[in-house]
Amino acid sequence: MELIPPETVAAVRAATRPLVDGIVDAVGAENRVYADVLAGPEGLGIRLGIERSVGAFLDAVERGERPAGGAAEMWRRVGEAEFEAGRSLDDLRAAWRTGTRAAWRGAAELASRAGFPTDVVIGLAEAIFVFTDELATDVVDGYARMQSDEAGERERWRRRLASLLLDGDVHDPEAIAHASSLARWPLPRTLAALALQSDAPARLASRLDANALVSGDADGPVLVLPDPDGPGQTRALRHALEQTPAALGPSVAPRDAHRSLRWARAGLELLGRGALPSEHPTRVADHLAAVIVLQDETMAQAFVRERLAPLDGLPAPERERLLSTLGAWLAHQRHTPRIAAELHVHPQTVRYRIAKLRELLGDRIDAPDGRFELEMALRARAACPTSP
C-alpha cells in the first residue's frame, strides 16, 4: 500500500466519529432497505463495525500493510447476519457502494480542508477504494457462505421430506409437516412419483419448472412432483427428461405418495422390458390395464395361452387376421360397419370372421365375463413381447 503521510492519518483519525456519521447517514438516505435498520438496534452494530474498520484501515495505512484480519472476519459475520435477516445481496452491495463513496468523500474533504497536497488526497482515496474492495469481498463471502449452508440444510430437509412422503410403512403427518416447513416445500394438494433411469436425478430436477423433490434408494432414483397435472407440466417434463426413460405414477394426495411410487416403479420396470411405450415420461395411468395384467409376466403369458388356445392350430396369417378382428369387434362393441372401416375390409368379411371366432371360442365370445377376459388377453399379448 502506498505510504500516506502520518499527519494525514492523524487528521482522519481525529475526525473518525463525524466520518462514520456521514457514512451511516449516506447509506440510510440512499438505500431505503437500510433506513430503518440503521435507525434501530442493528444500526448500532453496523456503526461499530464501520468505526472498527476505519481504525483498522488507518492502522494498516500507517504500517503500509493490508487491513487487519480482524476487520475482514467481522465483515464476513456482517454478511452472514444480512443473509439471516432476509435482505438481498443486491441491496447489500448497493449499500456498500454508497458507504464507499461516502467514506472517500468524507476523508477527501478532511484532507483537503487540512491543506494536504492533491497527490496525498488521491493516494488516500485509492487506499480507501482498495480497502473497501477487499472488505466487500469479505462481506459477500460471509453472505454466500451462509446462503450455501442454508441451501445445503434445506436440500437435506427436502430429501428427508421426500423419504417421509414415499414411506409406505409409516405415515407421520407431524414429521411431514415439520420437514415441509424446514424444506420450504409447502405440501401440494396432489403430487406424483416419477421413477427414472438416470444417474443425475438432481440435474433433471433442476431443469423442471416444478419444484421437484429428489429421492432414491436401492431401487433407483425418484422425483416427487407437486401438482403434476397443472398447466404446462407435461411440456416441462418432456423438455427436462429429453430421452431419459421415466414412468410417472398417478396423481395422489400427499398421504398416498407411496402408492404413486409403487405404480411408477412398476411402469418403469415394464418400460425397460419393452412392454410399455417410451413416452418421456410414460404415464402409468394411461396404461393401467397393461400394468395390472403384466405385474406377473409368467402368469400373463399363461393367461394369454389359455384364453387364445383355440386359435393355436390356425396358420399364423389367419390367426393374426382373426385376432385383429376380435380386437376391433370388442373395441367397437360389435358394430360391424366401424369394424370393417378400421380393418379396411368388407362388412361381410367381418361377419365371416366373427362366425369363425364363435366357432373357435364358443360361448365365451358372447358372455360379458368372457369378452372381458378376451380383451385382457389381447392387451396382455400386445404388451408382452414374449407372448405367443
Of the chain, the percentage scoring pLDDT greater than 70 comes to 94
Same domain, 267 and 341: no
* Residue type at position 36: D
For 20-55, what is each residue's pLDDT tens digit?
A: 888 888 888 888 888 888 887 777 878 888 888 888
DSSP string, 282-325: EEGGGGHHHHHHTTSHHHHHHHHHHHHGGGTTS-HHHHHHHHHH
Look at residue 261 and tell me whether its pLDDT is greater than 90. yes
Task: Look at 148 and 230; give whichever has higher pLDDT.
Answer: 230
Evaluate whether residue 359 is within a structural domain. Answer: yes
Same domain, 209 and 129: no
Top-ranked range on mean pLDDT: pick from 104-113, 139-148, 256-265? 256-265
| Residue 93 sits in the same domain as residue 225 | no
Residue where one domain finishes, among candidates 247, 274, 293: 293
Do 288 and 301 sit in the same domain of this protein? no
Same structural domain, 259 and 354? no
For residue 13, the domain's CATH number is 1.10.490
Does 182 have pLDDT greater than 60?
A: yes
pLDDT tens by residue, 285-325? 888 877 877 777 777 788 888 888 999 889 999 999 999 99
Tell me, yes or no, whether 13 and 90 share the same domain.
yes
Where does a domain end: 293, 320, 352?
Answer: 293
Cα–Cα distance, 148 to 309 (Å, whole number): 65
Are 236 and 263 contained in the same domain? yes
50 by Cβ neighbours in 10 Å (0-12 / 13-18 / 19+) ranks as buried
Q: How far apart are CA 273 and CA 195, in angstroms?
A: 15
Omega prior to 281 cis, within 30 of 0: yes
Look at residue 258 in the predicted model and tell me its pLDDT.
93
Q: For all residues of the chain together, what is the average pLDDT?
A: 84
Q: Of 101-105, 160-164, 201-205, which has the strongest mean pLDDT?
A: 160-164
196 - beta bridge partners? 246
What confidence score (pLDDT) does residue 385 get? 56
In the structure, what pLDDT confidence band is assigned to residue 1 with cuts at 50, 70 and 90?
very low
Number of structural domains, the chain?
3
Examine the domain organization and report whether 95 and 107 are in the same domain: yes
* In a domain? residue 173: no
Residue 191 has pLDDT above 90, yes or no: yes
Q: Is residue 355 part of a domain?
A: yes
Q: Are residues 137 and 209 in the same domain?
A: no
> What is the pLDDT averaged over residues 155-162?
88
| Structural domain boundaries, residue 320 | 297-383
Residue 388 has pLDDT above 70, yes or no: no
Residue 93's pLDDT is 86
Instruction: State the pLDDT at residue 376.
Output: 83
Q: How many helices (H) and strands (E) does the chain have?
A: 17, 5
